[in-house]
Chains A and B, each alone.
Chain A
Amino acid sequence: MNGRIRRIGALVKLSLLELWRRNDMFALLVLALVLLVPLSMARPFGATGATRYFDEAALLLVWGYSLFISLGVGGRLFTSEFANRTVYPLLAKPVSRGELLLGKYLGAVAAAWSALAFFYALWAVSSALRGGECLSVCFFQAFVLHALFAALAVAAALCGSFLFTPSASTTLLAILFPAMFFFGRRLPEYAENVSGALRWLVDAFYWVAPHVEFFDMRQRLVHGWGGVEPGVFLAVVGYGVAYSAVLLLFTGILFNRKRL
């Protein structure tokens, strides 16, 4: 058991180091900070509504950043291993493919979460400076659900990297996730207005596609509406965990079948 934990721990550490030593990630981080800090600190004419609008925009930026980072890290986890041939000496060590997949996935999730925690901490500080309540139940729920979204996005990017080319997978998911984020909750409404095969397709898509909009608590946080019911919160957590687990399981099957 100790050996297994040590093996997975080494893989997690590798993914974290990879993310934090990449120059493009730092450039993006600085860019996001440059945009995020003025947005969250802005008090246009002292109008509460306008302040909330800027707050929401700042959180939307954090969502964009976390999507970019999750897709980038998840999609690259194994493509670089295959391209650089490092997967061969790695699999020649006493590590199973399942452990390798899990370790790398957890590392990528940890990397995405560390970036996310940084942004939420920053947002909380700026909110506190403006006299807002920052460490509320709603804030905690928003962070946990956002983190679960990041874990799901990493799993999807990882799975996509085994099915398609890395760029195709990233492009597809970079379209799918924002589309679901903004329009996912309107799909049933749309399905009502169409018929035949298209209706069937929209319904199928609704049940299969990842409902990333479930994880979005920006408006509750910004407008001070408070957290969701514990039952609802746990149901969304369960949905995120189950969806990620299914994607990982499917990726595991693909990895086992992959010709090395």
Chain B
Amino acid sequence: MNDNVFEINNVSRAFGQVTAVDGLTLSLRKGEVTGFLGTNGAGKTTTIKMLIGLIRPTSGTVRLFGRDPVESSVRARIGYMPEMAYYYPFLNVRELLAFYGGVCGMDGKSVKSRTDELLEAVGLVDAAKRPLKTYSKGMLQRAGIAQALLNDPDLLILDEPFTGLDPLARIHFRELIKKLREKGKSIFFSSHELGETELLCDSVAIMKKGHCIYHGPVDRLAGDGGGNLERLFLDVLEKGGVQ
């Protein structure tokens, strides 16, 4: 039985003359945490947008839980946090989560209990009544994490989740990811933070100019050169691929 949460098969996506993703094949197993690495413009965000059904591939197929990501029933099982969103400034975080809960079709009672749980988890209890326009970048990022987790998703897709987080918030976030992994959730996140990625991930995928040049376990990548992920990330990029 196939236990892949998502499967990207030979996917390409072009925007006019520019090919953002070229012949990408990638999958994520249930309960796995994968870091999605690459330089700016490597095709990470485009891949993530195809995964959540925001854009369609020019060629190839994307399947989440064996189905098309455009289907609502598929998206009910994922949580997504964009790279840096400025959530509705006129709402407070409780109202924000109530709104997203409504959009997910959740009833008021379950939204409320889930909100209490998530505000505690992301450390926004004290700021829960403040309008989002008064939040710092890191606090907005934490609100973003809370909205992504609201529907208790099976697959969490995060685009640059560490951006703007202070060291303490990073530690909390790391702990949160570990707890989610223990619960059997699958997590796929893009990042430029190689240290955090190394600490959190079972595997990494490295993109370069729209191609995936490495996809495999973190320890294998580290073992190839015997150094840390940062140095090896550079090696892989310079060589153009490990596999």
Residues of A bordering B, CB below 8 Å = 2-4, 6-7, 9-11, 13-14, 17-18, 21-22, 84-86, 88-96, 259-260
Residue of A nearest to B82 (CB): A88
A-B residue pair count with CB separations less than 8 angstroms: 93
Q: How far is the CA of A3 from the CA of B148 in the complex (A)?
A: 19
Given A92-B78, A93-B75, are A7 and B83 neighbors across the interface (CB < 8 Å)?
no
Residue of B nearest to A100 (CB): B103
Docked-complex contact B88 and A94, CB < 8 angstroms: no
Residue of B nearest to A20 (CB): B90
Docked-complex contact B102 and A9, CB < 8 angstroms: yes
Residues of A within 8 A of B53 (CB): 91-92
Given A89-B80, A92-B54, are A10 and B102 neighbors across the interface (CB < 8 Å)?
yes
Interface of A is mostly: helix
Residue of A nearest to B70 (CB): A96
Docked-complex contact A260 and B76, CB < 8 angstroms: no
Complex partner residue of B15 from A18, A85, A259, CB under 8 angstroms: A259
Docked-complex contact A89 and B90, CB < 8 angstroms: no
- What 6 pairs across the A-B complex have the smallest Cβ distances? A10-B102, A3-B105, A92-B80, A94-B72, A84-B86, A94-B76
Given A91-B54, A93-B100, are A17 and B80 neighbors across the interface (CB < 8 Å)?
no
Docked-complex contact B88 and A92, CB < 8 angstroms: no
Docked-complex contact A85 and B100, CB < 8 angstroms: no
Interface centre among A21, A94, A95 (most CB of B within 10 A): A94
Residues of B within 8 A of A92 (CB): 52-54, 75, 78-80, 157
Given A88-B80, A92-B80, A94-B73, are A22 and B103 neighbors across the interface (CB < 8 Å)?
no
Residue of B nearest to A81 (CB): B88
Given A92-B75, A92-B80, are A18 and B90 neighbors across the interface (CB < 8 Å)?
yes
Residues of B within 8 A of A17 (CB): 90-91, 95
Min Cβ gap B188→A in Å is 13
Between A and B, 24 residue pairs with Cβ closer than 8 Å are A7-B102, A7-B103, A7-B105, A10-B103, A11-B103, A13-B99, A14-B91, A85-B83, A85-B85, A86-B86, A88-B54, A89-B81, A89-B85, A90-B100, A92-B53, A92-B75, A92-B78, A92-B80, A92-B157, A93-B75, A93-B100, A93-B103, A95-B103, A260-B54
Q: How far is the CA of A216 from the CA of B103 in the complex (A)?
A: 37
Interface string of B57-89 (1 = CB under 8 A from A): 000000000000000110110111111111110
Complex partner residue of B99 from A10, A94, A96, CB under 8 angstroms: A10
Residues of B within 8 A of A14 (CB): 88, 91, 99
Docked-complex contact A86 and B87, CB < 8 angstroms: yes
Interface string of B139-155 (1 = CB under 8 A from A): 00000100110010000
Q: How far is the CA of A21 from the CA of B49 in the complex (A)?
A: 32
Docked-complex contact A13 and B55, CB < 8 angstroms: no
Q: For the side of the interface on B, what is the size category?
A: 35 or more
Residue of B nearest to A95 (CB): B103
Interface string of B99-128 (1 = CB under 8 A from A): 111111111000000000000000000000
Q: How far is the CA of A60 from the CA of B147 in the complex (A)?
A: 44
Min Cβ gap B83→A in Å is 7
Docked-complex contact A94 and B75, CB < 8 angstroms: yes
Residue of A nearest to B76 (CB): A94
Min Cβ gap B146→A in Å is 11
Min Cβ gap A175→B in Å is 29
Min Cβ gap B28→A in Å is 16
Residues of B within 8 A of A94 (CB): 72-73, 75-76, 103-105
Complex partner residue of B102 from A13, A22, A91, CB under 8 angstroms: A13
Besides A9-B102, A92-B78, 8 other A-B contacts (C-beta < 8 A): A2-B105, A10-B98, A14-B91, A88-B80, A88-B82, A89-B144, A94-B73, A94-B103
Q: How far is the CA of A88 from the CA of B107 in the complex (A)?
A: 23
Residues of A within 8 A of B72 (CB): 94-96
Interface centre among B76, B90, B91, B102 (most CB of A within 10 A): B102
Residues of A within 8 A of B88 (CB): 14, 18, 84, 86
